[in-house]
Chains A and B, each alone.
Chain A
Amino acid sequence: MSSLATGVSVAFAVSVAGWKSESNSGSVLRTRRHDAFVTQSVLQRIADGDQSAVQDCLKSYGGLVWSLARRMLRNQDDAEDAVQEIFLDVWKNASRFDPAQASETTFVAMIARRRLIDKIRHTQRRISADSIEDVLAEPSTRDDKVMQTNVEAREAAKAMDQLRPEQRQVLQLSIVHGLSHQEIADSTGMPLGTVKTHARRGIIQVRELLGLGEITGVKEVSV
């Protein structure tokens, strides 16, 4: 009975979110174009081979890339190596940036995450019990400056607020702290399959609320 009630409430929540995403997506896209118009110049200048744009790029995104690396890799030396590799990736991929799809900041964060995920998987890192204790011992609250300047970050925060607490927790541990599904299962006591389900349902909902993907039908998955 209780699982049925949960199922109904989840279905309701998802369908409500679906309705909201239609109205949200328009505003996100409109604002995103404006955001891109204001900030796109750095990557375009780099794509054009303008070396003076590098300093602007580091000034704009150095802190962001460093913070993502530091939190996901949890090791100063690894983070420093990763930041250098990420900026090389950013410079090489600068011409691929499409302002109609996302803001420059989100594009840089995406390139950074690709490299960081690759590094975590490549090194087959296994977090020790002590490290997991450390995971939650560092501040990871949202950054007011980023929230003010990046429309997608603001919309993503709103979308996260609409997720179920378990989905939000799994996405925070995986995306912000770089924990694998097995590590999340071990540290929270959730079954592995449930961790994956929460992550998938959460990211699908955030993607839709950001207006990045099609609105999918409500499909109940038991967790």
Chain B
Amino acid sequence: MSENMDDKLRDLLCDQAVFGLTNEEARQLKELSDGAEMDAQSYELAAAAIALAETKIEPMPAGLEAKLLRAAEEHFGASKEEIHESIHDQPTQTFQWKEPKPSRSFFDWFGWAAAAVASIVLMVTFFYYQDRLSKLEDRLAKATATPTPAPSLAEQRDRLMAEATDLTRAEWAGGPYEPTKGVTGEVVWSDAKQQGYMTFRGLPVNDANLEAYQLWIFEEPQLEALPKDGGVFNVTAKGEVIIPIDAKLRTISPKAFAITIEKPGGVMQSKRERLAALAPVKPSET
């Protein structure tokens, strides 16, 4: 295969794994891959591994699980019938019945039977009491366990600051938007844990029906036009507030953080008309 065709085949395998192919592209792939030594599935496995790494797993709705179990019954029911039919299609073997010859006396059999019954009784008793004992232990453990209160946001932030070895820190300064000029505070972020917290002092309470604060994360200077959405939040109390960062995409080595005021729910691209606060990361703080 020529180098050009090799490249074309690889492009198609990449596109198939990431975006899927049109019918025409699928036809081309089939043509090119015929006889080619390329592990087509490996591109799809790489894409699947990325999907696993980047997707937050949520529980499946309970109703859907019930539907799936019904579908499984139908699927496996059909499969079993097929298996059953295929077994019955096998030619049957015939055996000639022979009268069994008595090999042991009545007393031999009685001795063996008594020993077997005694063993069974012993095993059943053992498992019964073991089961009761473990249930009792479970109940005791539950009764003595004390519920642990969920850690506050301040505790969660402090824990991150204490545990993360790759902490990025930056200080908030009020933006050009007049009502937020006096804002101060700090932002902390860990790449490894993909967690961060913002602490604000003086960020005005907002009317959640009219507007929301939105965090933007700048990773690289050349991506200034495309900051990452760090989540939307409301401020409901005066004084110091702590907001967890809700980064929508995995974030690595942020260079700056910015807060804008947007419509409720946030926007995908901000016009940056109301810039509420900025926190550039100093080089030594990354």
Whether the Cβ atoms of A49 and B250 lie closer than 8 Å is no
Whether the Cβ atoms of B52 and A146 lie closer than 8 Å is yes
CA distance A200 to B249 in the complex (A): 20
- Asked whether B136 is an interface residue with its Cβ less than 8 Å from the other chain, the reply is no
A145 to B: closest C-beta gap in Å: 7
Which of A11-19, A36-44, A155-163 binds B? A155-163
- Asked whether A154 is an interface residue with its Cβ less than 8 Å from the other chain, the reply is yes
A49 / chain B contacts, CB cutoff of 8 Å: 76, 79-80, 83
Q: Which residue of A lies closest to B45 (CB)?
A: A102
- Asked whether A135 is an interface residue with its Cβ less than 8 Å from the other chain, the reply is yes
The contact of A189 among B60, B194, B225, B246, by CB within 8 Å, is: B225
User: Interface range on chain A: under 10, 10 to 19, 20 to 34, or 35 or more?
Assistant: 35 or more
A190 to B: closest C-beta gap in Å: 9
Whether the Cβ atoms of B50 and A206 lie closer than 8 Å is yes
Q: Which residue of B lies closest to A150 (CB)?
A: B52
A 34-73 binary contact with B (CB < 8 Å = 1; else 0): 0000000000000001010011001000111111101100
Which of B62-70, B116-124, B148-156, B167-175 binds A? B62-70
B41 / chain A contacts, CB cutoff of 8 Å: 101, 110
Whether the Cβ atoms of A139 and B56 lie closer than 8 Å is yes
B268 / chain A contacts, CB cutoff of 8 Å: 132-133, 135-137, 187
- Asked whether B211 is an interface residue with its Cβ less than 8 Å from the other chain, the reply is no
A159 to B: closest C-beta gap in Å: 8
CA distance A132 to B164 in the complex (A): 33
- Asked whether A215 is an interface residue with its Cβ less than 8 Å from the other chain, the reply is no
- Given A49-B76, A49-B80, 17 other A-B residues pairs in contact with their CB atoms under 8 A: A54-B68, A54-B76, A62-B59, A66-B59, A105-B52, A110-B44, A118-B20, A140-B248, A142-B55, A146-B53, A155-B49, A175-B51, A175-B54, A176-B54, A176-B249, A210-B45, A212-B45
Those 10 A-B pairs whose CB atoms lie nearest each other, nearest first: A117-B20, A156-B49, A153-B52, A207-B46, A109-B48, A110-B48, A62-B60, A212-B42, A66-B60, A157-B53
Residues of B that sit less than 8 Å from A by CB: 10-11, 14-15, 17-20, 22, 39, 41-61, 64-65, 67-69, 71-73, 75-76, 79-80, 83, 191, 194, 219-220, 223, 225-226, 228-229, 232, 246-250, 252, 265-268
